[in-house]
Amino acid sequence: MPLDLDRLLNWAVPEARQRLTQRDTMLYALGVGLGADPLDPGQLRYVYEKDLQPLPTMAAVLAYPGFWQRDPALGLDWVRLLHAEQSIEIHQPLSVEGELIGRTRVTGVIDKGADRGALLLQERQITDAASGALLCTASMTSFCRGDGGFGRSQGEAPPPAEIPERAPDLVCDLPTLPQAALIYRLSGDMNPLHADPEVARGGGFERPILHGLCTFGVAGHALLRSCCDYDGGRIRSLRVRFSAPVFPGETLRTEIWRAGPDDLRFRSRVVERDRLVLNNGQARLAEPAETDSLSKTSEAAGA
């Protein structure tokens, strides 16, 4: 069944409700590699309930509606679908627990040609169920490798962030576990491409690949470690392009440039294969004093 453009553009993605718990917050952090050094107080604050904090990249998985693209009525070749781009914008300090609502909409579909696939753009707004406050926005682009050639497009892909043409200011190497995808999928993305060897081979991979959003989380960890002294509240927004898959167990080297007082650019490569896997990354930071002010305002509102 071919892709149905009009149906896809108007698809009513089910509203997602999530009862976020401290366990969920810690499991996400473990899934992207925090806690590799259990004596590091910076990492421990994200995986231990004492003074627990949420990782900013967790915004990408909150109130996730599930792998809705798998519905046969859409006509997508879902086995060949890959994560192409991801961005998050944090509007208010994230919590480690609470009830959340995620509302997802398709914002565009771009035909790249019969042999070049298509891009599927979507946006999810995550709100607090009790107050209705908008907490964060997660936007993503999927590369539908088997679905190009339908002849029409709607929407535009966001322009990439430019990477400076000079040596990086900072470099951070972080390993991933062989079982990283099996842990990470427990945060909501149950696509069998990341767990089932047979499905992975059907998608053209020798073995299950790491979730793009797990790679995204590892890069976020590198930024926290290298630039933010593990203060997650300093990251206001983050965006990146996925250029190649990662296999669980590989080491990610994140190269970081300071492009301005609050502007970081970055990219990541697999050390073992010298393969660029994340590109055109950008993070916007808040100053530490601004972070403290926001946290106090949030605490006062909660009281």
Q: Annotated catalytic sites, by residue?
A: 189, 194, 209, 212
Q: Which amino acid is at 295?
A: S
**Nearest-angstrom CA–CA distance, 130 and 102:** 13
User: By the 8 A CB rule, do 288 and 234 touch?
Assistant: yes
Q: How many beta carbons lie within 10 A of that of residue 52, not counting itself?
A: 16
Q: Which of 73, 99, 101, 95 is nearest to 1 (CA)?
A: 73
33: left (phi over 0), alpha (psi -120 to 50) or beta: left
**Nearest-angstrom CA–CA distance, 8 and 299:** 41
**Nearest-angstrom CA–CA distance, 302 and 294:** 12
CA atoms within 13 A on the CB side of 247: 12
> In the 8-state DSSP scheme, what is residue 264?
E
How far out from the chain centre does Cα 232 lie?
15
**Nearest-angstrom CA–CA distance, 281 and 122:** 19
Q: Which residues contact 161 (CB under 8 A, 6 or more apart)?
A: 239, 265, 280, 281, 282
Q: Which residues contact 303 (CB under 8 A, 6 or more apart)?
A: none
Q: Sheet holding 98-113: strands in order across?
A: 16-20, 98-113, 117-128, 134-144, 81-90, 235-242, 275-285, 263-270, 251-260, 170-175
Instruction: Please provide the distance, in angstroms rounded to a whole number, between the alpha carbons at the two ends of the chain.
Output: 54
